[in-house]
Amino acid sequence: MSQILVVGSLAYDSIKTPVGAVNKTLGGSANYFSVAASLLSPVRVVGVVGSDYSQEDKKILESRNVDLQGMTVKTGQTFHWSGFYDDNLNEAQTLQTDLNVFADFDPVLPQAYHDSKFVFLANIDPVLQLKVLGQVKSPVYTGMDTMNFWIQSKKSDLLKVLQKVQILLINEGESKMLTDEPNAIAASEKLLRMGPEAVVIKRGEYGVILNHKEKGLFVLPAFPIAEVIDPTGAGDTFAGGFFGWLSRNEKRPTFEDLKQACFVGSCLASFTVQDFGLKSIRAVTAESLSKRQTTYHQYLQVST
């Protein structure tokens, strides 16, 4: 079982959806990823928080035995995102982004993290993603996410990162933005030509598309949830489950491994959307995950 290194945001989110709202609940890509991945493998976190970041929130990761040597505390306020969802729960509308201490984030890895075998670069500045990759010695497998802001403002740097990772995990809207393609299948083909050997396009309630340079396509529907409360962080949870599954072995993942990782990631993401912030995913246990996986398998059975 290998250590996973994740570099991303540790944040507070203020969220409004058609069924309610919360103010400054725990969020951020690295938090969602770590809580999910730690159910399956050890996790190392690199990120920055402000002096307002509570000990209770820190203990959420500590209770999962997440290694926090790479968490830096700076004087000031923690990164804060505010947004809402209308009836289209597949796309968040941003109201305000306060970078705060995250504005000067400089990911310097602790020495102990340099040997990390599985590395996930959450949707931070691609310049910083490149800096992280330059500090890891011999990773077995590396992946990245990105977002519309970096696609629009730092596309050339983003393309450099794509040349250095094995897999890209990206949502459908951003895949179309990056490639100027009209649909997810065409976008995935073009993304493969940009560098990575595999691409996962996250499509919210419609599931995921995995495309591999040599093995082709794999399509998986989402686990069906009757009432979605808050989809924030579902993609980061998916990534956590995905890499958590892959890192259970220290070898380079096969296409079958990637398919199974999509299944596990989708299963975990289905918990996140059932409540605001990390409230639902932090309550998941190995037992509750196993039960949902069994149900998911039953839903996916088809006759031939």
Q: Which residues contact 74 (CB under 8 A, 6 or more apart)?
A: 48, 49, 50, 51, 101, 104
pLDDT at 91: 83
CA-closest candidate to residue 148, choices 177, 185, 191: 177
Give the residue with greater pLDDT, 58 vs 1.
58
Residue 90 has pLDDT above 90, yes or no: no
The CATH number covering residue 278 comes to 3.40.1190.20
- Rounded CA-CA distance 57/20 in Å is 22
**pTM for this predicted structure:** 0.96
- Rounded CA-CA distance 42/112 in Å is 14
The parent domain of residue 142 ranges over 4-300
Domain count, the chain: 1
pLDDT at 250: 84
**Lowest mean pLDDT across 86-95, 173-182, 278-287:** 86-95
Q: For residue 166, is it left (φ>0), alpha (ψ between -120 and 50) or beta? A: alpha
Instruction: Give the pLDDT mean for 95-117.
Output: 96
